[in-house]
Chain A
Amino acid sequence: MAEDQVIIGLEVHCQLDTKSKLFCGCSTDYRDDGANTHVCPVCLGLPGAMPVLNRRAIEYAMRVAKALNCGVREEAEFSRKNYFYPDLDKAYQITQYDKPLAEGGYLEIESDEGGERKILLTRIHVEEDPGRLVHMGNNERGKYSLVDYNRAGIPLIEIVSEPDMRSPKEARKFLNKLRATLEYLSVFDSEKEGSLRVDANISIRGSERVEVKNITSYKGVEKALTFEIARQKNLIRRGQRVVRETRHFLEAQGSTQASRSKEQEHDYRYFPEPDLRPLHVRSWVDDIILPELPDARRERFIAQYGCSLNHARTLTGELKLANFFEEVVACDPRGLSMLASTWIADTLLGELNYRGMSLDLVDPESVTKLAGLLRNKTITDKSGVEVLRVMLDLRMQGEPAQAPSAIVARLNLGMTKGETGAIASAITEAINENPKALEDYRSGKAGALNFLVGQVMKKTRGRADPVELNRMLAEVLQERGV
């Protein structure tokens, strides 16, 4: 029903992966260092210091603008957004207001119904990150803040979408696609802590809009939106009104909470930053050569490697994963690609996820070798999973790596080729132990055969060659006059 239609717009802030800050030469590589060790008169907001714009930040933002099909403004400009907060060194943020770098554009995502859907963008602008606050003290009178300005002045790009998304899942997809695109453009490192922050505007059609701030993780977006939609729908169901307000996402509780911000924070008194000059960079667009982006790579994976659409989507959804896949299949794309796409997109990702392990710890060459063993039927799929688990566990525990073939030999996981005797006796055992299954098979129940195959596999620890097993089982069953 239209009355329940969910409307979501996102404002996504991503740190641009430059070497120095947006307006000064301080290093952006601050995460492992002590508080206030990466600051200078400019990013500390010392009286008299002046900003000088980092060209690379603008180049990066332009790349994003081109990749997202935005129009670059003839004249862009920086403005001051004035408000007081202890993490804001100058008591204003240098951002872009009425003359953002780029406007319009879109990003295509997979829609909930399948197929592609264009999410329209409003604008893209560049701004500086504020510092970081730590809240200290516990009772009301003992509370104070500690400020670290290392983050102050890190370049951010803000990508504002139109209210074009219809579900938390779509919002998640938008975000994932955006992240992938920024990574493909080499302008963003999603693995750096706090490198992405999202504000979301959410409403139920016909009701007021609520802004949810402070969403700092990819998973958080879906959680925050789901909570907020349920909250709003409940209000409406109970005949109450949704109040237009700003709420904060509480990651730990998975809920949103009304902000107690003062009225004054909404009057930002924007005006052009007098210490910076206008940008006329539209013509740069022509000189930007975009790398292959996720959609193009996905289509290429389908065409070149014969990946399924879903596997291609998964594999190209992260730059690292796509590169990993191509490294794995590089030595024998024809022979390995189908096998590797399933093994990486399904099995490997599942096992990594289970362990909370990063892909960085996996050596593509070992996966190539594993795929080789699977391809030439040295091991069965089942044994392959076991080899992979051993490989990952060794890596997790910091043990020396072992080649897949060595693991196969050590654990005696080689396929039972030629060991027909062992298979035959396993078949006999399985049939004798399960007369009911034999009975079911006789009466034509389809599941019975699979059950027997499974029983034989169990007895051979998964090493039986499935083709051989099927052939031999059919023979035995025939012998028994079934």
Chain B
Amino acid sequence: MVSENEVKHIGELADIGIDGEELVAFTHQFNVILEYFDILDRVSGEPAVASDLINVMRDDIVEPSLPRDAVLRNAGGQEDGFIKAPRVM
């Protein structure tokens, strides 16, 4: 069983933000779904070993970057070509 506190912690890990009634409902649904996932405990065998499609690589060749206006067009905010973001300090 997963507790509301654990679900809240997961919400913080995912930067989803969850509380109040939603937390109660989520916790209930979580437990129903996780109980269903328990069927995986019965699985036995080996994970896949890649045998084909390995070493997929490209040559070290420079290709054009996007024009800067295309980079900034979708950004929430910009300043001197930089993209504005929340503070971290």
Q: Name A residues whose Cβ lies closer than 8 Å to a Cβ of B.
A: 18-20, 24-27, 34-41, 44, 52-58, 75, 84-86, 133-137, 143-149, 262, 264, 267, 269, 276-281
Which residues of chain A have C-beta atoms less than 8 A from B65's C-beta? 26-27, 37-40
Contact of A53 among B53, B58, B61, B64 (CB under 8 A): B58
Total A-B Cβ pairs within 8 A = 122
Given contacts A19-B60, A277-B50, A277-B53, contact A264 B85 (CB under 8 A): no
Beyond A52-B58, A147-B84, A279-B55: 14 further Cβ-contacts under 8 Å? A36-B71, A54-B58, A54-B60, A86-B86, A136-B79, A144-B87, A145-B85, A146-B85, A149-B83, A264-B12, A267-B13, A277-B56, A280-B50, A280-B54
Chain B residues with CB under 8 A of A144 = 84-87
List B contacts of A279 (CB < 8 A).
54-55
Given A52-B56, A264-B13, A278-B54, verify A25-B63 contact (CB < 8 Å).
yes
CB-nearest residue of chain A relative to B66?
A40
Nearest neighbor of B79 in chain A, beta-carbon distance: A146
Q: Complex formed: what's the CA distance from A36 to B80 in Å? A: 10
Are B63 and A145 in contact, with the CB atoms below 8 A?
A: no
Give A58's nearest chain B residue, CB to CB. B57
Name 8 A/B residue pairs within 8 A (Cβ), A-sorted.
Answer: A27-B62, A39-B65, A53-B57, A57-B60, A58-B57, A144-B87, A148-B81, A262-B12
Residues of A within 8 Å of B55, CB to CB, are 277, 279-281
Q: At the interface, is chain B mostly helix, strand, loop or mixed?
A: loop
The 3 closest A-B pairs by CB, nearest first: A25-B63, A146-B82, A86-B85
Residues of chain A with a CB closer than 8 A to B80's CB: 34-35, 146
Q: How far is the CA of A148 from the CA of B15 in the complex (A)?
A: 23
In the complex, B89 has a CB within 8 A of chain A: yes
| Chain B neighbourhood of A137, CB < 8 A | 87
Q: Is the CB of B66 within 8 A of A277?
A: no
From the candidates B12, B54, B58, name the one contacting A55 in the complex (CB within 8 A): B58
Task: Enumerate chain B residues within 8 angstroms of A35, measured Cβ to Cβ.
Answer: 80-82
Q: Which residue of the partner chain B has the closest CB to A47?
A: B74
> Does any Cβ of A come within 8 Å of B24's Cβ?
no
B84 — which chain A residues lie within 8 A by C-beta?
144-147
Provide the residues of chain A in CB contact with B81, threshold 8 Å.
34-37, 148
B13: A residues at CB distance < 8 A:
264, 267, 269
- Which residues from chain A contact B87 at a C-beta distance below 8 Å? 135, 137, 143-145
Residues of B within 8 A of A145 (CB): 84-88
Chain A residues whose C-beta falls within 8 Å of the C-beta of B57 in the assembled complex: 52-55, 58
Contact of B15 among A34, A40, A52, A84 (CB under 8 A): A84
| Chain A residues in 8 Å Cβ range of B85 | 86, 133, 144-147
Collect the chain A residues with CB atoms within 8 Å of residue B56's CB. Answer: 52-53, 276-277
Residues of the A chain whose Cβ atoms lie less than 8 Å from the Cβ of B61: 19-20, 25
Interchain CB contact under 8 A, A25 and B88: no
B60 touches A56 (CB 8 A): yes
**Chain A residues with CB under 8 A of B71:** 36, 39, 44, 149
Distance of A147 Cα from B82 Cα, bound (Å): 5
Any chain A CB within 8 A of the CB of B59? yes
Cβ contact within 8 Å between B62 and A278: no
Chain B residues near A84 (CB-CB < 8 A): 15
- Is the CB–CB distance between B89 and A20 below 8 Å? no
Q: Which residue of A lies closest to B53 (CB)?
A: A277
Q: Is B68 an interface position by the 8 A CB rule?
A: yes
Contact B82–A148 (Cβ < 8 Å) = yes
